[in-house]
Structure 1
Amino acid sequence: MLSAIDSFLMDDRPRSLAGLKRGLTEFLWFGIKEARACLFVGLFFAAIFLMPRAGLFGIPRYDLLLVVAVAIQLWMVRVKLETWDELKAVCLFHAVGFALEAFKVSGNIQSWSYPDFGYTKIFGVPLFSGFMYAAIGSYIVQAWRLLDIRVRHHPPYWMATAIAVLIYVNFFTHHYIGDYRWYLAACALGLYSRSTVVFRPLDRDRRMPLMLGFVLTGFFIWMAENIGTFWGVWRYPNQLGAWSAVHISKWSSWSLLVIMTFTIVASLKHVKAKIHIAQD
């Protein structure tokens, strides 16, 4: 069923459209493809919304969310919505995310917390939380295929990898030696200043700066984070008494994390084939 839908969405035969009608039609198709690329995110967040805080059948909510996340991921591989290589990349996102979570909730840091009980909590972090990071990778993988994404003037891989590693390290070290996110953001801006993402909403290629894609994706993740904290899945210290919106500064953090995630996706063989490396 989904394969048939994807084939329909990716049908890029020329359409007789012009002017406002073309613009609105392409915008609609772009929105539909983006929604489809968020399949894992949508199903996972639906589980978060529907799952009672007390859990079900005596099983804590965090443990049930882990079961749901694993089931969704395996189902996507089984029906060939993701390949095994893509699953390996998603698992890497999970591991990277879990390591960051374990550090952030530790006693010395306490950037946020998971207040509910769960059998599958390790170092204070429920194992399902890594899937929230993996969901970003899953979205990029799905969007790459559905929108026929290509990248022009991508920086050399060693440079992209270096800035991605520094971004990740800064999430840890800023608690001890200062926050260098804006310096890293400036470096990333310079590194990707010529990079353009080419995508196909309908039947024609469209372009936009790759950095704009990072920032927009970071914004929507920040919005999702507000939803997650509102439902009490995790909480920042200032939200323990009463919920308040996640600080806007988190948008920049998520945008930088998207750069790191994109770099991992860009290492996949079939993705590399659609990336043009800048030579000068």
Structure 2
Amino acid sequence: MLKKFFKDLVYFTYHQSLSCIFPVVIFVTLALSKVSHLPLSRYDFILVICLMTQYLMYKFGLESKDEIKVICSFHIIGLLLELYKVNFHSWSYPEEAWLKIGGVPLYSGFMYASVASYICQAWRRFDLKILNWPRSYIAIPLGAMIYLNFFTHHFIYDFRWLLIALLFFVFSRTVVKFTIRQNIYKMPIVASFLLIGFFIWIAENIATFFGAWSYPNQEMGWTIVHFGKISSWFLLVVISIMIVAQLKLFYREQ
């Protein structure tokens, strides 16, 4: 039994690493561009690398056309959120760049797209199946409310904790099944939301350390990102998985 567990753990770790190709490329680029002399601005250089990575992943069959569509939608969703948040001084991109709109470099959308890339890759590699997914007329409005709350909390009450409580209720019976080798495992989907959100928060600390962006409290020097951001990433992961799940459900019904 223990031998089987370790074999599954190695398999799981290996394929999780392959699922993270896009995020890893971004982090490596952030690190290397921090200490390297570049022929163009750093943010523009990161954008070029992201575009090349996206093209190569499609060319070599690591991502399908449908997955590219999902990833592009996340790029747009993320870029809109970035433009809004930077305008409200939630964080900033202090370095200069040619390809920068409203203080936001265009590469920033790829950080959200990389999350979508991970979800699509992991979904395929582990043959994810979701049981008791809530009906579309419940899931879609809930996802929309979560996304809108990222914008509206600057003007009205922040409903994130109410939305999180609602998520636990709506997804209380929802389970995700995944296959490692020939062995099937399962966990409550809310637990997967939280785990992915936590690891994105760790990645966010690495990204801000390498100057991907800066929060107001990091302008005088890097400090750890506030633990409260885990709840934000938790909610963003929910939106991400909702979009992928709804699209897969749509194509399955065609």
Per the TM superposition, whether the score is higher than 0.5 is yes
Which of residues 243, 252, 255 in structure 1 aligns to 2:234?
255
User: For the Cα contact (< 8 Å) 1:54–1:60, is it kept in 2?
Assistant: no
Q: 2:178 matched to 1:196?
A: no
Q: How many angstroms apart in 2 are the aligned matches of 1:261 and 1:111?
A: 21
**Matched residue SS, 1:199:** strand
Verify the 8 A CA contact 1:114 1:126 in the aligned structure 2: yes
Q: Give the superposition deviation at 1:23.
A: 1.2
Aligned to 1:92: 73
Contact conserved, 1:168 with 1:260, CA < 8 A, in 2?
yes
Secondary structure in 2 aligned to 1:261? helix
Residue 47 of structure 2: which of 47, 54, 66 is its match? Answer: 66
What aligned pairs does 1:141-220 form with structure 2 within 5 A after superposition?
141-220=120-199
Deviation at 1:234, TM superposition (A): 0.6
C-alpha distance after superposition, 1:245-266 (max 9, x if no partner) = 0000000100110010111111
2:31 paired with 1:49? yes
Q: 1:81 aligns with which of 58, 62, 68?
A: 62
Match of 2:94 in 1: 115
Alignment CA distance shift 1:150-1:243 (3 Å): same
Secondary structure of the 1:206 match is strand
Q: Match of 1:119, SS?
A: coil
Letter of the structure 1 residue corresponding to residue 27 of structure 2: F
Q: Paired residue for 1:9? A: none
Contact 1:26 1:202 in 2 (8 A): yes
Unpaired stretches in structure 2, ≥5 consecutive residues: none
| Equivalence for 2:201 | 222
Distance in 1 (alpha carbons) for counterparts of 2:229 and 2:37? 29
**1:8-51 Cα deviation digits (max 9, x unpaired):** xxxxxxxxxxx111112111211111111101111121111111
Q: 2:83 aligns with which of 102, 105, 116?
A: 102
Which secondary structure state, in structure 2, belongs to the residue aligned with residue 30 of structure 1?
A: helix
Percent identity between matched residues is 43
Letter in 2 for 1:30: F
- Indicate whether 1:21 and 2:3 are aligned: yes
Task: Please identify runs of 4+ aligned residues in structure 1 that moved more than 2 A.
Answer: 52-55, 267-274
Taking the aligned partners of 1:271 and 1:156, their CA distance within structure 2 comes to 12
Stretch of structure 1 that moved more, 214-223 or 72-81:
72-81
* Residues 86, 141 of structure 1: 8 Å contact kept: yes
Equivalent AA in structure 1 for residue 143 of structure 2: A
1:205 aligned counterpart, secondary structure? strand
Tell me the C-alpha RMSD between the 2 structures.
1.5
**In 2 relative to 1, CA 270–47 (structure 1 residues): closer, same or farther, beyond 3 Å?**
farther
Q: Deviation of residue 118 (structure 1)?
A: 0.4
* Secondary structure of the structure 1 residue equivalent to 2:176: strand
Contact residue 34 and residue 210 of structure 2 kept, 8 A: no
SS in 2 for 1:163: helix
In the aligned structure 2, how far is the partner of 1:247 from the partner of 1:147? 32
**Larger helix share, 1 or 2:** 2
| Matching residue's letter, 1:28 | V
Q: What's the counterpart of residue 265 of structure 1?
A: 244
Q: Which has the larger radius of gyration?
A: 1
Residue aligning to 1:6: none
Contact 1:86 1:268 in 2 (8 A): no
Greater shift in the superposed pair: 83-92 or 123-132: 83-92
User: What is the TM-score with the length of structure 1 in the denominator?
Assistant: 0.87
Alignment check: 8 A CA contact 2:46 2:107 kept: yes
Mark the CA change 1:22 to 1:169 in structure 2 (over 3 Å): closer, same or farther: same
Letter in structure 2 aligned against 1:171:
F
Q: Give the structure 2 partner of residue 139 of structure 1.
A: 118
Q: How far, CA to CA, are the matches of 1:113 and 1:217 in structure 2?
A: 24
Q: Distance in 2 between matches of 1:255 and 1:272?
A: 26
